[in-house]
Structure 1
Amino acid sequence: MWANLTPLLLEATLQTLYMVAVSGVLGTAFGLPLGVFLATSQRGELLSAPLVNKVLGLVVNATRSVPFIILVVAIIPFTRALAGTSIGTTAAIVPLTVAAIPFIARLVENAIREVDSGLIEAARAMGATPFQIIRKVLIPEALPGIALGLTLALVSLIGYSAMVGAVGGEGLGDLGIRYGYQRFMPEVMAAVVVILVVLVQLVQSVGEGIARAVDRRAPRNRGR
């Protein structure tokens, strides 16, 4: 039995990694600048635009408040328009990305807001422009928090990628449902769960390692 299921598990794992990787990259590409803007655009801040900040904040909150499984179904027309279909691995990337963008944006916003305001005032006193402050002060200082936030986002995407198996997506979730649930093969479901746990642990470990590596405040061991 396992000789036949092993290729299926491998294929499903690769499909899950593909969905998570692409949606993670796209989510970061859109969510990172959005989070930076949300963190710096309230009244009196570097990119003061309170009205735009409020509107974008409402959109982000509204998107985050929709349960993922409902979001997948609600944006099927949008998914079909972009991917040409609403089922399959590529189609699943659309709702995964839509869910990732506001989540990442809020994580990045929180990381940037934790930066000491004294650093911003010091940079302003030295004549730095808002974009220079963002690029050379805020983002470098917030990198550990951003790295941990992106790690959390990837872990969430792994869980979401399993959910899309219930609505026509592929990957480990689909395999677990088709074989583990519908065909009453608990050993397949157990294998899927183990693989998902291993993926989460790997992502978490790598993310924490990156966060420590970019943390300017962390003590460095120096050779003597």
Structure 2
Amino acid sequence: MSSAMLNLILKATLDTLYMVGVSGLVAALLGVPLGVLLYITRPRQILAKPLTNQVLGVITNIGRSVPFIILMVAIIPFTRMIVGTSIGTNAAIVPLTIAAIPFVARLVEGALNEIPPGLIEAAQSMGATPYQIITKVLLPEAKSGIVTGLTITVVTLISYSAMAGAVGGGGLGDLGIRYGYNRFDPLIMLITVAILVVMVQGFQSLGDHLVRKADHK
């Protein structure tokens, strides 16, 4: 294998890590608060607002129901408005992030559902404010579940980034299509798949380690 191809593989790997890293970070920063809102605005919760909860739920469900490849095409005008282009790694980050935010939100909501109601009631009986309950009870108690959800999200984003490469998003998906599939080179395809598998295993192992550290029960 030539040095030029090795450089292409390295660049594609770094591009994939860049796309996944940025989109995962932004999705976490926006998706975790959205998940908390979905939980605390439920009926009989600490900030019960049924109408707000229904609106947030509908928006979240719509975001989760659109297939990623369709989402990429549907928001091309929005992507161009944000980054100035609809192809390349920066352009792929926009749909990756939009797809990941509702995914993270539902996983966070699910993690919060595992918290015993008695803990929240005990905090309320001691006069804790909603903000204190969120920061001192909900998030600490659900920490391991939230980390698990974020790990699942990152692994999902790796597969999404490969799909993004198929339509000009760059990264390993683009490398596999252009130099593996289109040129009938099974070695490039095998290398691309192998790197993606290593990425998934690496992030999953890191996530499992962080979950063990976060789980204080």
Instruction: Could you tell me which runs of 5 or more consecutive residues in structure 2 were left unpaired when the two chains were aligned.
Output: none
Q: Tell me the equivalent position of 1:139.
A: 139
Which whole-Å CA distance do the structure 2 matches of 1:26 and 1:175 have between them? Answer: 25
Offset, 1:169: 0.5
Q: Tell me the equivalent position of 1:160.
A: 160
Task: Trace 1:17-28 onto structure 2 (pairs within 5 A).
Answer: 17-28=17-28
Q: Specify the SS of the correspondent of 2:142.
A: helix
Q: Specify the SS of the correspondent of 1:47.
A: coil
* Paired residue type of 2:122: A
Q: Tell me the equivalent position of 2:76.
A: 76
Instruction: Count the aligned residue pairs.
Output: 217
* Paired residue type of 1:115: I
Offset, 1:185: 0.6
Q: Tell me the equivalent position of 1:118.
A: 118
* Paired residue type of 1:157: L
Q: Tell me the equivalent position of 2:10.
A: 10
Q: Tell me the equivalent position of 1:210.
A: 210
Offset, 1:170: 0.3
Offset, 1:47: 1.3
Q: Percent identity?
A: 61
Which whole-Å CA distance do the structure 2 matches of 1:77 and 1:27 have between them? Answer: 20
Q: Tell me the equivalent position of 1:220.
A: none
Indicate whether 1:188 and 2:198 are aligned.
no
Which whole-Å CA distance do the structure 1 matches of 2:205 and 2:2 have between them? Answer: 29
Q: Tell me the equivalent position of 1:52.
A: 52
1:144-176 Cα distance to aligned partner (Å, 9 max, x none): 000000000000000000000111110000000
Offset, 1:15: 0.2
Task: Trace 1:79-118 onto structure 2 (pairs within 5 A).
Answer: 79-118=79-118
Which whole-Å CA distance do the structure 2 matches of 1:194 and 1:78 have between them? Answer: 33
Which whole-Å CA distance do the structure 2 matches of 1:59 and 1:174 have between them? Answer: 31
Q: Given the two structures, how large is their TM-score scaled by the length of structure 2?
A: 0.99
Q: Specify the SS of the correspondent of 1:22.
A: helix
Offset, 1:2: 4.0
Q: Given the two structures, how large is their TM-score scaled by the length of structure 1?
A: 0.96
Q: Tell me the equivalent position of 2:172.
A: 172
1:57-95 Cα distance to aligned partner (Å, 9 max, x none): 001101111110000000001101101000000010000
Which whole-Å CA distance do the structure 2 matches of 1:154 and 1:25 have between them? Answer: 9
Offset, 1:121: 0.7
Which whole-Å CA distance do the structure 1 matches of 2:160 and 2:204 have between them? Answer: 16
* Paired residue type of 2:150: L
Offset, 1:4: 2.6
Instruction: Could you tell me which runs of 5 or more consecutive residues in structure 1 were left unpaired when the two chains were aligned.
Output: 218-224
Offset, 1:3: 2.7
Which whole-Å CA distance do the structure 2 matches of 1:198 and 1:189 have between them? Answer: 14
